Amino acid sequence: MKWNSDLYDNKHSFVAEYGKSLIEFVNVEKNQKILDLGCGTGRLTNELVKNGATVIGIDSSADMIKKAKLNYPNLNFQVADATNLDFKNYFDTVFSNAVFHWIPNQEKLLYSIYNSLKDNGKLICEFGAKNNVYQIQTGFEKALKQNGYSYYSEFFLPSKEEYKLLLEKAGFEIEHIIEYDRPTPLADGEKGLRNWICQFFASYLSNIPYEEMEQILCETEKFCKNSIWKENQWIADYRRIQIIAVKNKG
């Protein structure tokens, strides 16, 4: 997945805005060491440091980290692989918003996070649940097929029951886990859905000629119009899992 950090900041600020509510679960006092896993352009990293916590923001995208360093030059950002963290028993909290659904190897991810946490340290995260953006994925798949292309979802989207088992297998004790609908308005009026697709489905469009890409975008909008176009705005059919889990010493 190749990320466009400018498009992400300008048209998809809702990702960070929704993530702010997740910070309410985090102890952000100055004695805390926090990892912002999948920090993107750094907006939530900046929120996490406001009460004096020591925060490191990591992302696999060099473009995102470059933009984060420009946005917040005094903060600590690093390009890193979340499934292979270099930290051992270091963090009080691993925080992550809207990231896990992009990572195929969840067992390796959770093992990496578990090892990076101190005993009784917490994983606090939120990401896509089963049937997240189902209408968008379905419309996009139809449009691709009509133009001779295929679609295979890149997302990992479990139910809370499925993810509970993965957490327990990794050694976590679950304090809180919910799965819920979160209809999400997309910015920029009629252009909202195509902006979303150009950001989050960029890998499918990167090798498609411009005229065909425009056709696919128009057809996706047509397929999705009846389901997620409401009152002159696209409302993405997001579903989320929200988790607080503790590293179990045993």
Q: Which residues contact 210 (CB under 8 A, 6 or more apart)?
A: none
Average pLDDT over residues 134-162: 96
What are the pLDDT digits (tens) for 183-206? 999 989 999 999 999 989 999 999
Q: Which residue in this structure is represented by tokens 């900046």?
A: 46
Is the pLDDT at 2 greater than 60? The verdict is: no
What pLDDT does residue 250 have? 57
Concatenated DSSP letters of 71-89: H-TTSEEEE--GGG---SS
Q: Which residue in this structure is represented by tokens 């119009």?
A: 225
Average pLDDT over residues 209-220: 97
pLDDT band for 17, please (50, 70, 90 cuts): confident
CATH 3.40.50.150 applies to domain 5-132+155-184+238-247:
yes
Phi, psi of 205 (to 5 degrees): -95, -15
Give me the percent of the chain exceeding a pLDDT of 90.
88
**Per residue in 157-192, is it b (16+ CB within 10 Å) or e — as a string?**
bbebeebbeebeebbbebeeeebeeeebebeeeeeb
Alpha-carbon distance 74 to 69, whole Å?
8
Q: Which residues contact 158 (CB under 8 A, 6 or more apart)?
A: 106, 129, 130, 166, 241
What pLDDT does residue 13 have? 47
Of 4, 38, 13, the C-alpha closest to 206 is 4
Q: Which residue in this structure is represented by tokens 């009509």?
A: 146
pLDDT band for 249, please (50, 70, 90 cuts): low
- Find the range with the poorest average confidence among 9-23, 112-126, 135-149, 166-180: 9-23
Average pLDDT over residues 11-22: 65
What are the pLDDT digits (tens) for 158-189? 999 999 999 999 999 999 999 999 999 998 99
pLDDT band for 20, please (50, 70, 90 cuts): confident
What pLDDT does residue 198 have? 93
Decide if 42 contacts 66 (C-beta within 8 A): no
Packing angle, helices 210-228 and 134-146, rounded to 10: 140
Q: Which residues contact 247 (CB under 8 A, 6 or more apart)?
A: 114, 117, 118, 119, 120, 121, 122, 123, 171, 172, 173
Provide the whole-model pTM.
0.91
What are the pLDDT digits (tens) for 55-88? 999 999 999 999 999 999 999 999 999 999 999 9
What residue spans define the domains of the chain?
5-132+155-184+238-247
Mean pLDDT of the chain: 92
